[in-house]
Structure 1
Amino acid sequence: MLRCGAVVLLAGMVSGGAIAVAQTSSATPAADTSVILTDGTAQVTRVVPVPGTVSVEAQRSLAKAWPDDPTVQSLEDRRKGTDVWQAGAGKAFEKLYPVQVEAATVAGVPVRMITPKELPTAHANRVLINLHGGGFNSDSGSLTESVPVAALSRTRTIAVLYRLAPEHPFPAALDDAIAVYREVLKTHKPADVGIFGTSAGAILTGEVAVRLKQLHLPEPGALGIFSGFGDWANRGDSEALFGLRGLAGHLDVPKPRTHDEYAGTTDLKDPVLSPIYADLSGMPPTLFITSTRDLLLSGTATLHRAFRRAGDDAELIVFEALPHAFWNDPTLPETREADEAMAQFFEKHLGR
């Protein structure tokens, strides 16, 4: 019998590209199959049960069925929907982690200032800068990413509401992040500052670190790259297997990366846009976090290896079975564990 919540993974060839499709099934196939074509493309079927090693809450979440039909959503609707969800999820996190949230402007850039209720004297000079996720075209993390880490690390946090694509392609978001960091450096030592982000914000965090090196500005005390990548020119293997909800829901046929609305006309191997092509030596201590059903699992792991090859202090945490940026879900015990890992990392490395 197929375990509750198990997913049948089907992969085949469509117009020369590999495709992975997730669908629910009431019966177990007779056997898994695997065919490798001459160009290396895999045509496979796999039955993937929900592992008992994750929390009950995670098992229930993974068992949810999502339609496989592609959902075409206008940018306006996406932003409206994301704003409503972020506000609601942010309130849920604030109930768990009491903080004060204020709107402000730093160096002309709109931000959210998140101040924990408990702020030890030893942390008075520390500050975290969050670069939120949202595909570079919306805000899916300025609260859900910042509130728990600010509270758990007992550190003031600035969530940067950087300019969004397509109206403002690269390097607009990067310039905004750099401007905020420059302003923070007027009142804080670099060693007391941490920069972190999820998804688009994780990508942007790596870009900021490389750009600071180019500008001969001091690097921050620590970085957090949580489910991102550093190579706009190549897709990772995991993007052919997982969508935003892991094995559930729609998944497009993998295609080579192109100059999208964020990258604009910039060379995809530009060392700032794609830090994997940069000299990464001398980067701050960096924490990478991903999960085994994260579409950016490959991108996160590959960038982590690049940091390691450059001789940097780089740590990688991989969670079991959960999808992309699962720590935006306040109901999962694994979210608490991930947020605590982030907070402990900054506690360890800031102010050294």
Structure 2
Amino acid sequence: MRLSLSAVLMIAFGTHAAFGQAAPEPDFRRLEAEIGAANAAPGPRTVPGRVIPVPDTTSPDFRNAVAAPYRVPAWNANPPDAAGWKALVDRLAAAGAATLPALREKLNVTSEAAVIGGVKVFVVQPRTIPEANRNRLLLHIHGGGYVYNPGEAGTLEAILMAGLGGYKVVSVDYRMPPDAPYPAAMDDATAVWKAMLGMQKPQNMGVFGTSTGGGMTLALMLRAKQEGLALPAAIGLGTPWSDMTETGDTYRTNEWLDNVLVSYSGYLTPAAKLYAAGRDLKDPQLSPINGDFAGLPPAILISGTRDLFLSNTVRTHRKLRAAGIEADLQLFEGMSHAQYLAAPNAPETKEVFGEMARFLDAHLAR
């Protein structure tokens, strides 16, 4: 018998658990018997309903992000047609871009639109580049589920890397569905990387991105290998969308706990279908976890304990290690998917970009 959510919550906490109040202690003896019986045979794990508190082990600034409600309609959007997608994406992009001038000013960073390799990009850099990074260059591939963050809105992570890490960054404004499904985004990222190989030595360059940007960074490495292009000295993978097939433990264990992505059945499923445009989701250019990682550059991977993509990140890390690649996995307490991008002033965000900057510094030539 499958219990309803309300019934399970009643079993676990009684009928008087309320939002904003500490849940009473569950009746452990009753739970011990009922949940023990439900898990007496091998198979899927049944757990009692739970109210999970905001951890007090995070910084106050980051705790606000952890406690925030779901972002509607960003997490569960599924517009009925292309026009609906475009309207939603444009509205969210305008709101996101409006916050960036103040952040650039605070971090003493500039951003200029340009065209590299025939593709629109933004060149983001500190007003004063540290001496150690004068001959270094990073390619940034933004996240957003292949549909969000066109234009300037996609430069948030590049601004944080430039300001907190001290690097000059080229952020690619790749084409996206519904107008431009796969392979447009990968064609654009590849064209920019080819052009950058004429701007700087590959051993002086890195590639990084979060979520979709992390998945595309991996896919770019696989494509560059296939096309015989030089690879960068290191890559940064923020909670990469490395598998589009909803494979992995935390797609279930962190569902509804992650307050950014929330559930794969939200916007991620329709966004994946929009991008793939009928292509097999197991294709390594869509789900690079299925590719050959041999010969890839050293990688740093970032995720959090509440991240829906934690399993994506862990599985990618293990596969890199199995291929003999140096890979550094950094996990953060209480963090949902890419939440460091939502809390630019939090110590955790500074730690994320500090870790990534140090990793790049250790592997990029000068």
Question: TM-score, length-normalised on structure 2?
Answer: 0.81
Please tell me whether residue 345 in structure 1 is matched to residue 359 in structure 2: yes
Give 1:48 deviation, angstroms. Answer: 1.9
Secondary structure in structure 1 of the residue aligned to 2:138:
strand
Aligned-pair identity (%): 33
- Range with greater deviation from structure 2 (209-218 or 58-67): 58-67
2:281 is aligned with 1:268: yes
Residue 191 of structure 2 is aligned with which of 179, 184, 193? 179
SS across alignment from 1:323: coil
Q: Residue 228 and residue 99 in structure 1: after superposition, are their counterparts in 2 closer, same or farther (change >3 A)?
A: same
Q: Does 1:52 align with 2:56?
A: yes
Give the direction of change, closer, same or farther, for the CA distance of 1:283–1:316 in structure 2 (3 Å limit).
same
Change over 3 Å in CA distance of 1:165–1:253 after alignment to 2: closer
Query: What is the CA distance between 1:96 and its match in structure 2?
Result: 2.9
Question: Which ranges of structure 1 fall in alignment gaps of 5 or more residues?
Answer: 1-9, 14-22
* Cα distance in structure 2, aligned partners of 1:231 and 1:183: 28
Q: Partner of 2:351: helix, strand, or coil? A: helix
Give the equivalent residue in structure 1 for 2:227. Answer: 215
Aligned positions of 1:163-178 closer than 5 A: 163-178=175-190
Indicate the larger mover: 37-46 or 193-202: 37-46
Does structure 1 residue 312 correspond to structure 2 residue 325? yes
Deviation at 1:25, TM superposition (A): 5.8
Q: 1:334 aligns with which of 348, 351, 365?
A: 348
In 1: Cα distance, 2:100 partner to 2:357 partner: 18
1:54-203 equivalences in 2 (<5 Å): 54-66=58-70, 74-139=84-149, 142-203=154-215
How far is 1:109 from its partner? 0.6
Asked whether the 8 Å contact 2:89–2:149 carries over to 1, the reply is: yes
Deviations 1:306-337 (A, max 9, x none): 10110101110000012111121223221111
Report the secondary structure of 1:194's partner residue. strand
Which is richer in helix?
2
Root-mean-square deviation (CA, aligned residues, Å) is: 3.1
* Structure-2 change in CA distance of 1:216 and 1:306 (3 Å): same
Native 8 Å contact 2:293 2:319 kept in 1? yes
* 1:257 Cα deviation after fit: 6.8
CA distance 1:62–1:275, shift in 2 (3 Å): closer
Q: Please state how far the C-alpha of 1:82 moved relative to its aligned partner.
A: 2.3
**Structure 2 counterpart SS, 1:262:** helix
SS at match of 1:260: helix
Number of residues paired by the alignment?
A: 334
Specify the code of the residue in structure 2 equivalent to 1:260.
K
Specify whether residues 248 and 307 from structure 1 end up closer, same or farther in structure 2 by C-alpha distance, changes over 3 A only: closer
Alignment-derived partner of residue 6 in structure 1: none
CA distance in 1, matches of 2:256, 2:128: 34
Q: Normalising to structure 1: TM-score of the pair?
A: 0.84
In 1: Cα distance, 2:87 partner to 2:7 partner: 32
1:183-224 deviation per Cα after TM superposition (whole angstroms, max 9, x unaligned): 010121111111110111111111001111111111111101
72 and 89 in structure 1: CA distance in 2 versus 1, 3 angstrom threshold:
same
- Partner letter of residue 50 of structure 1? V
Aligned to 1:292: 305
Structure number with greater Rg is 2
Q: In proportion to residue count, which structure has more strand? A: 1
The answer on whether the counterparts of 1:222 and 1:349 sit within 8 Å (CA) in structure 2 is: yes
- Whether the 8 Å CA contact 2:214–2:242 is kept in 1: the answer is no
Structure 1 residue 30 corresponds to structure 2 residue 52: no
Unaligned runs of 5+ in 2: 9-17
